[in-house]
Amino acid sequence: MKIIISNSSPDPIYEQVTRQIKAQIINGGLREGESLPSIRRLAQDLQISVITTKRAYEELEKEGFIDTVEGKGSFVAIQNKELLREKKMKIVEEKMAAAVDEARLLGITRAELEEMLGLLYGEKV
């Protein structure tokens, strides 16, 4: 597991941690059942507060990404394949929404945007 904290990011640190762990679970960097470092260990490694890592793990647990077993630690949850796909779709959707917003600001038409998408996908338009 690799996490990099930015002190100049406007996002709270716990969010930076959850986002990066989620990404690694979704892209397979962290596998089902794999154990995560303890809350205290991670806090020490990242040089952040124990409260921060605790909150990050609680969020991940709430969203079903990890399971915590008392006395044993935290593990990447066994993922429901469909749920995982849905989560990934949602990420793509969010990114597309951002692209659409940006395009609207710049006055790029839907047709132009679709053409761009086609090119990016490697299709001939």
Contact 54, 18 (CB under 8 A): no
Q: Does 29 bind another protein (CB under 8 A)?
A: no
Q: How far is the CB of 5 from another protein (least distance, A)?
A: 11
Among 5, 29, 32, 44, binds another protein (CB under 8 A): 44
Measured from the CB atom, the residue of 24 and 53 that comes closer to another protein is: 53
Of 52, 32, 37, which is closest to residue 2 (Cα–Cα)?
37
Point out which residues pair with 73 in neighbouring strands: 69
Side chain identity at residue 117, one-letter code = L
Q: Does 40 bind another protein (CB under 8 A)?
A: yes
Of 73, 93, 95, 77, which is closest to residue 26 (Cα–Cα)?
77
Task: Give the three-state DSSP class for 95.
Answer: helix
Among 1, 3, 26, 50, binds another protein (CB under 8 A): 50
Task: Please report, as ranges, the residues that interact with another protein according to CB under 8 A.
Answer: 10, 12-14, 40-41, 43-44, 47, 49-52, 55
